A = this chain, B = another copy of it.
């Protein structure tokens, strides 16, 4: 199917799994997932007569699960993924990240780099992503072009940074706001699947004046917002110095009206009680980035607490703090670090279970995009078809056990055979 064509109506037959709550996964062996005009009409053990005429995509024996939403990933950092993981956040930014991001002033370099990023994302388990670009408008629009062509649904941010940044990666405050208004005007309505998101890098990089301007742009254009929050202890101390008027780091965003149900804050490792309450009350999304928080020696976010409070929580790779785009690895890491946190930090917060990681990767982050991340009736049909036959065992496994081990073993021998976004099949060649 061409990703440009209208979503089709069809039926996928296979071993179908999706979350019905954070702790529960519905599994149907040899089931039928019905897609009507790009939306799920539900999962059935027997195909209802009313759908018998739809084309059948026969994936018998393969797992069929909702697509994953990676709600925090830095496209320009993909070029140095797996490198330079020897520093904490602020030194890592200055040593590895800012010099790389400065290269995206060069459109030829950006073109080479973003083509790789978009192509690898297309082949990954991710169907929806929320993406940081750089401060450069032309490179960010090129990134949006590349992502649109993948068929995935994404939000992409031109980054804003007007202080505490190197000379070759910093903006004049007024020009930064102006460039952002121009970029928003440029890209609004240009794409079918690729949307702008307002992206102040983080409080240390953005003056109060620019932060207020960005909030204004977001509100005027009804745009979502993404940034970073309470990732690292030095960062938090610095924000306190930079915004002495703030009651907590989260307040340094909330003060400008930047939190809410259309905002994603990455990390939230060290959020105070006040900040947690602020995130909860505003409905702000927490992007949990377990691998990044380990590799940058940041810590482990108390995700159990956020789930217990019913907060909006999704998973994210945070490339290049995380080394790769695998949402499977991200799920496995989320479970693993939650156990270390329980053991080493706070035994009042029980470890996450694999079902909860799966829920966060699908429904938790998916809800940022609307009715996404489930096969319940009415959800946009994002689906992955997974061949797990190369992951060998002498045991007979239930469908759930096959999915459970896939989370941990996807990279061993798992194979993504088909991928659908809102009912459109993605080209995996």
- Which residues of chain B are near A167, meaning CB under 8 Å? none
| A353 to chain B: closest residue by CB | B86
- How many residues of A are counted as interface, with CB atoms below 8 angstroms from the partner's CB atoms? 54
- Which residues of chain B are near A411, meaning CB under 8 Å? 324, 326, 329, 411-412
B336 touches A392 (CB 8 A): no
Residue in A86, A120, A300 whose Cβ sees the most chain B Cβ within 10 Å? A86
| Residue A8 at the chain B interface, CB threshold 8 Å | no
Q: Name the contact of A299 in the complex, choosing from B299, B324, B340, B354 (C-beta under 8 A).
A: B340
| Residue A428 at the chain B interface, CB threshold 8 Å | no
A80 touches B344 (CB 8 A): no
27 A-B Cβ contacts within 8 A? A78-B393, A79-B393, A80-B393, A81-B408, A81-B409, A83-B404, A85-B354, A86-B353, A113-B393, A113-B394, A116-B394, A120-B392, A294-B340, A295-B336, A297-B340, A297-B342, A298-B343, A299-B343, A323-B405, A323-B409, A324-B408, A324-B409, A324-B412, A326-B412, A329-B411, A341-B344, A411-B412
- Which residues of chain B are near A82, meaning CB under 8 Å? 391, 404-409
- Which residues of chain B are near A113, meaning CB under 8 Å? 393-394
Interface hits, A384-415 → B, CB 8 Å: 391-395, 397, 401, 404-409, 411-412
Interface hits, A343-360 → B, CB 8 Å: 343-345, 351, 353-354
Taking Cβ atoms with an 8 Å cutoff, the residues of A that contact B are 78-83, 85-86, 109, 112-113, 116, 120, 291, 294-300, 323-324, 326, 329, 332, 335-337, 339-345, 351, 353-354, 391-395, 397, 401, 404-409, 411-412
Closest Cβ–Cβ distance, residue A74 to chain B (whole Å): 14
Closest Cβ–Cβ distance, residue A340 to chain B (whole Å): 5
Q: Which 8 pairs across A and B sit closest by C-beta, in order of nearness?
A: A82-B405, A411-B411, A82-B408, A323-B408, A297-B339, A112-B394, A294-B336, A113-B394
A297 touches B351 (CB 8 A): yes
A79 touches B340 (CB 8 A): no
Q: How many copies does the complex hold?
A: 2
Q: Name the contact of A344 in the complex, choosing from B86, B339, B344 (C-beta under 8 A).
A: B344
Closest Cβ–Cβ distance, residue A251 to chain B (whole Å): 25
Closest Cβ–Cβ distance, residue A131 to chain B (whole Å): 17
Alpha-carbon separation in the docked complex, A294 to B394 (Å): 26
Q: Name the contact of A116 in the complex, choosing from B112, B329, B393, B405 (C-beta under 8 A).
A: B393
- Which residues of chain B are near A81, meaning CB under 8 Å? 393, 405, 408-409
Alpha-carbon separation in the docked complex, A46 to B43 (Å): 64
Closest Cβ–Cβ distance, residue A81 to chain B (whole Å): 7
Given A294-B339, A297-B343, A344-B299, is A85 in contact with B324 using a C-beta cutoff of 8 Å?
no
Given A323-B409, A392-B116, A394-B109, is A344 in contact with B345 using a C-beta cutoff of 8 Å?
yes
Closest Cβ–Cβ distance, residue A27 to chain B (whole Å): 14
| A397 to chain B: closest residue by CB | B83
Alpha-carbon separation in the docked complex, A335 to B291 (Å): 11
- Which residues of chain B are near A393, meaning CB under 8 Å? 78-81, 113, 116
Closest Cβ–Cβ distance, residue A245 to chain B (whole Å): 29
Closest Cβ–Cβ distance, residue A426 to chain B (whole Å): 19
B79 touches A394 (CB 8 A): yes
A86 touches B116 (CB 8 A): no
- Which residues of chain B are near A109, meaning CB under 8 Å? 394
Alpha-carbon separation in the docked complex, A109 to B80 (Å): 45
Alpha-carbon separation in the docked complex, A393 to B77 (Å): 10
Residue in A82, A345, A405, A412 whose Cβ sees the most chain B Cβ within 10 Å? A82
| A324 to chain B: closest residue by CB | B412
Alpha-carbon separation in the docked complex, A399 to B299 (Å): 31
A408 touches B340 (CB 8 A): no
Given A294-B340, A408-B85, is A79 in contact with B300 using a C-beta cutoff of 8 Å?
no
- Which residues of chain B are near A342, meaning CB under 8 Å? 297
- Which residues of chain B are near A324, meaning CB under 8 Å? 408-409, 411-412
| A342 to chain B: closest residue by CB | B297
